[in-house]
Amino acid sequence: MTTVLEQLRGMTKVVADTGEVASVKRLAPVDCTTNPSLVLAALKDPASEALIAAEIEKGRAAGLSPEALVATLTVAVGAELTRLVPGRVSTEVDACLSFDKDASIARAREIVADYAARGIGKDRILIKLAATWEGIRAAEVLQDEGIDCNLTLLFCMAQAVACADAGAFLISPFVGRITDWYKKAEGVDSYTPDEDPGVKSVRGIYDYYKSNGIDTVVMGASFRNTDQIKALAGCDNLTISPKLLDEMAADTSELPRMLSPEKATGVAKASYDEPAFRWALNADAMATEKLAEGIRNFDADHRKLIALIAER
């Protein structure tokens, strides 16, 4: 009998939400996605120890600052992951640049150049940017240069529409973080999958994209349980933690397809200029709070990385 994970892979590209080499080897995903939190976890991964030690020694010999060493170490971890997956590895632009279009573009180009120096072409990576107005505008420039982007920390339709208009290669709408906010706001312990606010958000974005022939890949992210994943079966991509991948690999129940382009309902095309985008985001308390929180948390983990490298 086929497992839920095997069935899901028949309708959705499964991405591993981890930077741990051992987990990627074991789970064999198509793509990998990383962020500062996941790179922190990779630093504690025994399978990455030799790589990390070698990069730190090279950085010390070159006189790199801890900040510069973190940048090159992040790419080194990503480069190792490209040897383990057939698809793409996402690498994140520093969260502290989320409101600086030009600095984000410059950092993205540095990441691409570092990968190129390691023999890895830009067709194997995605540049991750927060879906702020500035991040989306940076992605627009990078996409025109042939550098594909993953717009992350996406919580509302206005962000999704603006990302599509910018020609973003992929977006990462966050399911679990939306659910967390609404559970607290509404004072409930749980939702059925069809009523889960995070699931409904991704379903709405997927419907909008397929209704309007938008090529941008929808990759659901930030899952709290396998029911949320099952409710989005058929989505273009889903990035899933090793724990939940293991749960699905042990589940032999039937998995019906929930999303497909053929089910698009014909949602009308929308568009946002900067004032309209900022107003729509401001009007959505959940999206405003979770976007700001996500940027702060990624930046905090980035600073933790710098402190750890400085110690070593």
Active site residues: 128
- Cβ pair 263, 162 in contact under 8 A: no
CA distance 37 to 43: 10
How distant, in Å, are the alpha carbons of 40, 191, 197, 276 from that of 187? 32, 11, 14, 31
Q: 3-state secondary structure string, 35-101?
A: CHHHHHHHHCCHHHHHHHHHHHHHHHHHCCCHHHHHHHHHHHHHHHHHCCCCCCEEEECCHHHCCCH
Q: How many CB atoms lie within 10 A of CB 187?
A: 7
DSSP β-ladder status, 217-220 and 170-173: parallel
Here the tokens at position 16 are 């591993």
- The SS3 assignment for 282 reads helix
Q: Report the alpha-carbon distance of residue 131 to residue 154 in Å, rounded.
A: 6
